[in-house]
Amino acid sequence: MSNIYLNSSMLQHLNHTVQEYVSDWLKSQQLTFNKTNLTANAPVSTSSWTTIVVTALLAYLAWNYLLSVRQSPLPKPARFDVVVPEAAQRHWKGKKLYAATTGTNGNSHRQIECYCPATGQFLGAFESMGREQVDLLVTKARDAQVKWGQTSLQERSRVLASLRDYVLKNQDSIARVACRDSGKTMLDASMGEILVTLEKLNWTIKHGARALKPSRRAGPTNFFMKWYKGAEVRYEPLGVVGALVSWNYPFHNLLGPIIAAIFSGNAIVIKCSENVVWSSRYFISLVRECLVACGHDPNLVQLFYCLPPSANDDAANYFTSHSGIKHLTFIGSKPVAHHVLSAASKSLTPVVVELGGKDAFIVLDSVKDLEALSSVIMRGTFQSSGQNCIGIERVIVSAVNYDKLVSILTHRVGQLRLGSDIDNLEDVDVGAMISDNRFAQLEDMVQDAVNKGAKLLHGGSRFNHPNYPQGHYFQPTLLVDVTPDMDIAQNEVFGPMLVVMKGSDTQDCVRLANSAPFGLGGSIFGSDYNECRSVAEQLQTGNVAINDFATFYVCQLPFGGINGSGYGKFGGEEGLQGLCNAKSVCFDTLPFVSTQIPPPLDYPIPSNAKAWKFVKSFNTGSYTPSVWQRLKALLSLARNAN
């Protein structure tokens, strides 16, 4: 696409032309047009109004496109192709593992075996990396970053635009790869992997440059210095950054840190979970091929994977303590975070920690349409089999709506279908979980709740799927009348469980929401917006969505939690800036003024008595709010200047 540039006079002329055209057209439809409204002079048919809406929307989109073209010429994406793995094809016939394990395979090397959690099909075995490979990956990334750090934001945007175009054109294969390695459904992959990744790419292309441009600051308030002293913050790459990401979104969780790292001028070494090595290797290859197609060194992006630390293998701890890595982003569980932070402290590496959540979904008295609301609850709870850090963990309903909403949810949860649509286009709602190693824990949580008075209306246990006996399936579960003293109300489920709690009123709903030791996200629903805002202010979380679910993440706001959910932020402007050295720079703004040391303060000090009077007068004149005191200080400065 050729670049188009419009100057201001051309834009003004185009704006006038568009307005005149719309005005003339509306008159032909017997409507009056002014700056603020449309007034009908005669009855208007439904088709006419449809035409009006469509025309106005097209004009709006065209106008915004022309403005965006003028503000920043779009980079021309590069085209590239990547061979799709055979296992990503539909109806792939891979052998099934009847006892899938990860660890030593009888040889001297520890192996990571990857398989599809939905079907048990074997995907591949990969040797767990060691300390030597960590050094090699960091060295390659560092060498590539030297040149990359000098690239323009336009060059970096071109890489992201090329990657965006590839993702758009290859959604099916990307989703299928993610599903093979995680067990989720194709629809869940499309929404939870592809949509959010495209949003991050597109947002960074459109708004990333603004976040990284030098930030001019107010400078000193000192009366004598503020006239000539300027100040700004410049955002410069750190060098090589690292990330340790979880398995629940193998594509998005991998691409997110890469997008932020390379756009901010860094190289990145990213550690994937041992559960999704197969898909991560493929997804990394997409980025590396994209870099090559755009004329850059693919070593800028490196993938590291290994088994959990053991007595004979500490590669994971070595990675997080490596002095060549200048920043770490960790997405995972609290127990693992303790190990990561302990290792990172050895090299004083800063870490952003995003842990689990116990997100509350608050339904206030003023909610009108419970049927529509139930759809949001179902999607937010069961997407990716509930393996979502900002998934709905607790639905807290005020007493007015409680019974009716429970009735609606009871009907809907009972209709959910378990299975896999990776190969067959069958109608399924909930896919497999990543493994079965937590099934006993989930069943214990359900039993604890029932023993303490909760009602189990659906599910509550593992499921042996007749078509996929090697798959890891857990029944979609509905628990109601849950109270804060139950284990399931205090600990993250991370599974397909819908937990409903009753609040007596709005303040009781807030109390219940804040009763868990997490603070990642939350949602508030009600028709009284002021009440919703008041509740949002009272929630002890890092993120809140009002009358929507988790859109704070899609909006590319800074993302992160408090309390048991971690600390620090990634995403949005703050996420990009957090991967930079925020270099503070001060300078003289007037060419004929430069900073000089006054004679009374020049070493060796001629007279301590005079120097003291000079500095005291300088302080008074700089910061006093009194004009009279400032004049007196100026006279004192003049008397003691020599």
Distances (CA, A) of 143 to 149, 299, 612: 11, 8, 53
Distances (CA, A) of 58 to 22, 24, 63, 75, 614: 11, 16, 8, 24, 68
Which residue, 498, 476, 467, 305, is CA-closest to 391? 498
Domain topology for 128-355+576-581: Aldehyde Dehydrogenase; Chain A, domain 1 (3.40.605)
Asked whether residue 591 carries a pLDDT value surpassing 60, the answer given is yes
Give the ranges where 196-251 is alpha helix by DSSP (H). Answer: 196-212
Asked whether residue 311 carries a pLDDT value surpassing 90, the answer given is no
What does the CA dihedral 436, 441, 442, 446 come to, rounded to 10 degrees? 150
First-to-last alpha carbon distance for the chain, in angstroms, is: 67
8-state DSSP, 193: I
Q: Which residues pair with 513 in a beta bridge?
A: none
Which pair of structure tokens corresponds to residue 170?
């290859």
The angle subtended at Cα 371 by Cα 370 and Cα 377, nearest 5°, is 80
Name which of 45-49, 76-80, 157-161, 285-289 the model is least confident about.
Answer: 45-49
Asked whether residue 33 carries a pLDDT value surpassing 50, the answer given is no
pLDDT of residue 17: 46
Which pair of structure tokens corresponds to residue 389?
């850090």
Number of other residues whose CB lies within 10 A of the CB of residue 531: 15
Which residue, 533, 514, 506, is CA-closest to 366? 506
Q: Pick the catalytic residue from 193, 274, 289, 354.
A: 354
Mean pLDDT of 297-309: 96
Mean pLDDT of 583-605: 92
pLDDT confidence of 2, banded at 50, 70, 90? very low
**Angle between helix 277-293 and helix 171-182 axes, rounded to 10 deg:** 150
pLDDT in tens, 229-284: 999 999 999 999 999 999 999 999 999 999 999 999 999 999 999 999 999 999 99
Name which of 42-51, 236-245, 404-413, 580-589 the model is least confident about.
Answer: 42-51
Q: Which residue has the higher pLDDT, 425 or 175?
A: 175
Q: Domain boundaries in the chain?
A: 8-71, 128-355+576-581, 360-560, 596-639
pLDDT of residue 9: 41
Asked whether residue 355 carries a pLDDT value surpassing 80, the answer given is yes
Q: Which residue has the higher pLDDT, 533 or 58?
A: 533
Mean pLDDT across the chain, nearest whole number?
90
pLDDT confidence of 606, banded at 50, 70, 90? very high
pLDDT confidence of 455, banded at 50, 70, 90? very high
Indicate the burial class of 230 (C-beta count within 10 angstroms; 0-12, 13-18, 19 or more).
Answer: middle
Q: CA-CA distance, 362 to 104, in Å (whole number)? A: 47
Asked whether residue 32 carries a pLDDT value surpassing 60, the answer given is no
pLDDT in tens, 546-582: 999 999 989 999 999 999 999 999 999 999 999 999 9
Mean pLDDT of 380-409: 97
pLDDT in tens, 147-195: 999 999 999 999 999 999 999 999 999 999 999 999 999 999 999 999 9
User: Torsion-angle region of residue 120: left (phi > 0), alpha (psi -120 to 50) or beta?
Assistant: left
- Within 301-444, strands assigned E span 301-304, 328-331, 351-354, 360-363, 394-398
φ, ψ dihedrals at 501, nearest 5°: -125, 150
Which residue, 27, 15, 21, is CA-closest to 66? 15
Q: CA-CA distance, 255 to 252, in Å (whole number)? A: 5
pLDDT of residue 296: 98
- Which residue has tokens 């870099």? 291
Does residue 354 carry a catalytic annotation?
yes
Question: Which CATH number among 3.40.50.720, 3.60.15.10, 3.40.309.10, 3.30.565.10 corresponds to the domain 360-560?
Answer: 3.40.309.10
